[in-house]
Structure 1
Amino acid sequence: MPQAAPPELDDEPGRGRSLARHYPRGLQIEPHTHTWAQVLYAVSGVMWVEVEREALVVPPQRAVWLPPGTQHAIHMLSAVEMRNLYLHERDSRHLSERCEVFEVNGLLRELITSLAERAREDDDAWLDAAYRLASIELAHAPRSTLRIPLPDASDRRLATLCRAVIDNPSADIGFEQHAAWVGASVRTLSRLFTRELGMGFAEWRRQVQLALAVSRLAEGEPVSAVARMLGYLPSSFSEMFRRELGVPPSEFRPTGTLGGTAGFAEENAAQ
């Protein structure tokens, strides 16, 4: 399915641009860049975003900040209602120069969705004020630290194994099985994981599992169903989740908070 084109972006600074689109589950948008900065946000559905050799699982409680010229690819893990903002480089210099994932509070959500839905209106005063306020909110939004490092394409075996785990992160499939499938020894792949990703296979797969689990829980899926999807018994999954993120999965709130300890939980995950 062809990807939807962004709104026309000229070289004139000033008011931002916006985009509202629906994407079906499974659609993939190939790597591309924009001349303007982008706020990538979905009011419903979950996206898998690959950028700067990292993967970000983005549920509706979060959005991605992409500075101008940042190459990124998107995979829709579910049907997605996208609402994006575009800001000219000269109007976003006070924001980060690197890709970031941030929490979307109620005000920022309403600003993004309203701007996307009222993009064709002629109320210049309202649009200018809304874009300015959205830019201010972006600068102060809490950042997320749960990211998944990705290998480059220099070793096909490692890249193939990582993609297989992303497509099926079940704990039922062991490292030895993955190694045999890609035609490499366990020792070779262990060395590649440490050198290229900075961690071992088991730790890296846990990061994938946690990111996918958080997105599923954010959509209201039962803990037991998420555990089975990842190849765990519910009790084992809850223990792993609590150990890695600091709270049990039952305390994860679909509103995007982790029982009031989101910052602590994500700092744990990043360590």
Structure 2
Amino acid sequence: MPVSAMAAWYPHGTVIAPHRHRRAQLLYAIEGVMTIESATGSWVVPPTRGVWLEPSVEHSVKMSGDVKMRTVFVEPGAAAHLPSRSCVVEVHSLLRELILSAINVPLDYATGSRDDHLMCLLLAELNAMPLLPLYLPWPSDIRLRSVCQMVIATPDDNRTVGAWAKTLEVSEKTFYRWFQRETGVNFGAWRQQARLLLALQRIAHGEKIIAVAMDHGYTSQSAFTAMFKRHFGVAPSAFYS
């Protein structure tokens, strides 16, 4: 059938090893936060959001908190306007209810049945999913990846671009152009995005905003909140509401 769905439950810290699917996939968690990683980047997926993975993309999944995952698989070519690239999407209330209903639909539902109509509506709503800025591109060069891994490990490290360039024994200008070419964004924007996505995982566990801000390189809660609102459109305290 063109659309199918399933449910799974994973405890905190579970890692699903790299794998791929022939079909496109929407990964969604009604509880917990998932981090999906591929060779070209990573996506942080909190509740109310999902990640759309194009067919045959190799990816791994890491669980933060106990995760109740719901997955929708879509045959290639099932609809004309599905995202052509992997991305994070908003799961609004109607789409959420359709996903929760779809997991109870058998794989061999009959054409023209109620189950068929439900899955067709689900497919229509997948066509209209709003895309969200929750993607972190990764460079392919191993030296730049090592810098990115250090940023992820110590997000409060405020070293300048020049200091990072020095660790790779290149000029600041060379580092800047190199990073931009590999990721499509400059290093400052990449670090800001990495910090915000890491912060989302902490906020999802109910940690205090001031502690999250300080641990991610911000000098104050207000500075972090202002950056968060510019990026996501809402304050950190309202993101999961």
Letter in 2 for 1:207: Q
Could you say which residue in structure 1 is the equivalent of 2:236? 249
Q: Distance in 2 between matches of 1:87 and 1:136?
A: 12
Q: Distance in 2 between matches of 1:80 and 1:31?
A: 18
Q: From 89, 94, 97, give the equivalent of 2:76.
A: 89
Q: From 123, 127, 135, give the equivalent of 1:139.
A: 127
Could you say which residue in structure 2 is the equivalent of 1:148? 136
Q: Which runs of 5+ in 1 are unaligned?
A: 1-13, 256-271
Q: Is the 8 A contact 2:18 2:58 kept in 1?
A: yes
Identity %: 39
Q: Distance in 2 between matches of 1:95 and 1:184?
A: 44
Letter in 2 for 1:254: Y
Residues 239 and 103 of structure 1: CA distance in aligned 2, closer, same or farther (over 3 Å)? closer
Residues 226 and 133 of structure 1: CA distance in aligned 2, closer, same or farther (over 3 Å)? same
Residues 87 and 239 of structure 1: CA distance in aligned 2, closer, same or farther (over 3 Å)? closer
Q: Is the 8 A contact 1:37 1:92 kept in 2?
A: no
Q: Which deviates more from structure 2 when the two are superposed, residues 64-73 or residues 53-62? A: 64-73
Could you say which residue in structure 2 is the equivalent of 1:5? none
For residues 150-189 of structure 1, the aligned pairs below 5 Å read 150-152=138-140, 155-171=141-157, 184-185=169-170, 187=172, 189=175
RMSD over aligned Cα atoms:
2.9
Shift of 1:64: 1.5
SS, match of residue 77 in structure 1: strand
Could you say which residue in structure 2 is the equivalent of 1:75? 62
Shift of 1:67: 2.7
SS, match of residue 78 in structure 1: strand
SS, match of residue 204 in structure 1: helix
Residues 89 and 231 of structure 1: CA distance in aligned 2, closer, same or farther (over 3 Å)? same
Q: Distance in 1 between matches of 2:175 and 2:72?
A: 40
Letter in 2 for 1:200: N
Could you say which residue in structure 2 is the equivalent of 1:201? 187
Matched, 1:62 2:33: no
Could you say which residue in structure 1 is the equivalent of 2:213? 227
Q: Is the 8 A contact 1:50 1:74 kept in 2?
A: yes
Shift of 1:173: 5.9
TM value normalised by structure 1: 0.74
Residues 67 and 201 of structure 1: CA distance in aligned 2, closer, same or farther (over 3 Å)? closer
Q: Distance in 2 between matches of 1:189 and 1:247?
A: 33
Matched, 1:126 2:96: no
Q: Distance in 2 between matches of 1:166 and 1:79?
A: 22
Q: Is the 8 A contact 1:18 1:83 kept in 2?
A: yes
Q: Is the 8 A contact 2:79 2:127 kept in 1?
A: no
SS, match of residue 43 in structure 2: strand
Q: From 179, 182, 196, give the equivalent of 1:210.
A: 196
Higher fraction of strand: 2
Could you say which residue in structure 1 is the equivalent of 2:97? 110
TM value normalised by structure 2: 0.81
Deviations along 1:79-127, one digit per CA (max 9) or x if unpaired, are 32111011222424442322232111111111112222x1459875332
Q: Distance in 2 between matches of 1:80 and 1:173?
A: 35
